[in-house]
Amino acid sequence: MNSRRIFLQKLAAASVAVPFLPLYKSFGNPVVDKPQDGKILRVAICGLGGYGTRVAEAMQTCKRAKLVGVISGTPAKVKAWQAKYNIPEKNCYNYENFDAIRDNPDIDAVYVITPNALHHDQVIRVAKAGKHAISEKPMSINAKQGQEMVDACKKAGVKLLVGYRMHFEPNTLEIIRMRKDGELGKIMFFQGLSGFKIGDPTQWRLNKQLAGGGSMMDIGIYSINGARYMTGEDPIWVTAQETKTDPVKFKEGVDETIQFQFGFPSGAVASCLSTYSMNNLDRFFLNGDKGFAELQPSTGYGPIKGRTNKGELTGPHTIHQAVQMDEMAALIFDNKQPIVPVDGEEAVKDLKIIDAIYEACRTGKKVPLKL
C-alpha cells in the first residue's frame, strides 16, 4: 500500500508540474434494464481501488458494456482481476505503458478511476491513444485542467464522459420530470447536504496534491451538481464559508467543512454543506411555490428514497454503475442524449463552481459565475 501511495504521489507531482428508464417488475431488489440490441462497449478500468472494484462488479450485470481490460500500478491486483474477470494478458497495462492501448482494437474506452489529480494527464493519454474516455468525478482538480481534457478529446475525435451515476437514477429523474412539467411550480429553494466522517488520515483523499482539496472534491460535488439538475439552472453567484476543527487531519488546502450558497437567474437560491466531519448528511430538498421534493438518501449507492407533496417516490432501486455504463454505451454508439448531460462540458461547469467556492472561502466575497 505504501509503495503504491508513493508511486501515485510521484505521478501526481508530474501531473501538477435519457428518456426515463422503463418500468421495472421489482421494487425491492436491485434491477437492471432489459437486454438491448447494439454494440457492446468494451471497457478497461484504470485504477483498481475501492470504487474501481465496485464498478467492475456492477458491470457484470451490464447488457451493453463489458469489462475487458485493466490499468494499474499494482501487479498483484492485475493478476487478481485477470483471474476474477477473465481478462486476457494482452489487455493488461500499467501506468507507464498504457499508451499502447492505441494498438489494441479490443478496447473501446477507458474508465479513469484514480485520484483526482491524475485524471487530467491520464484522460489526455487515453484520448491521444484514440479511445473514448470516462472519468470519475470530479473530472479534474480545477476548471483549467478540465477544459484541457475536453479540448484534447475533441481534437482526438473521442467522447469524454463523466461518472455522474445519479443522472440515471429513477427517483432523481422523476423529480426532474415533475419540475420540468411544472408540478412543483416556480422553484424557490434547494438544499443539499453532503458529508460523512472520513477515516484513515493517510489516505489520498486527505492529500491535497492527489485530491486537489478536501471534502468539496469528493462529496461536496454531489450537492453542486445536484443543485444544478434539481433546479434546472446554473448558478450566477456563489458565497462560501469554510470551517476547520482539526487542522492536523485537515491540513492547509484540504477543506474539512464548507457551507456554500448559490443564486440562480430565476431568483431561486440554494444552501449547501460539504463535510468530512459529520455523518448522516445525504439529503436533497427542492421547494417550489406549488410543491416540494425530497431525497434522503439522495446520492448514496442506494436505495435512493424520497417523497414529494404528492407522496412517496416509488422508483426502483437500480445498480447505479451498471445503468450508467449501459447508458454510456448508448451515448457513445447510438448518440443517445441523456436527460441530464454526463459529458466533459457538464463537468467543467462543476469545476468552475468549485473554483469559485474556494475563491469565496479565501476572500469572503460573493463571486460571480458565468458558466
Active-site residue, selected from the candidate residues 93, 111, 222, 229: 222
Q: Are 224 and 354 in contact (CB under 8 A)?
A: yes
Q: What residues have CB less than 8 Å from 81, skipping those under 6 apart? A: 48, 56, 70, 72, 87
Whether 85 is catalytic: no
Active-site residue, selected from the candidate residues 131, 137, 159, 208: 137
* Cα Rg of the chain (Å, integer): 20
Q: What's the rounded Cα separation, in Å, for the pair 192 and 255? A: 17
Phi, psi of 214 (to 5 degrees): -130, -125
Phi, psi of 192 (to 5 degrees): -130, 125
Which of helix, strand or coil describes residue 193?
strand
Closest of 63, 51, 60 to residue 84, by C-alpha: 60
Whether 137 is catalytic: yes
**All cell numbers assigned to 114:** 484514480
Helix (H) or strand (E) holding 192, with range, is: strand 187-195
List, by residue number, the catalytic residues. Answer: 137, 222
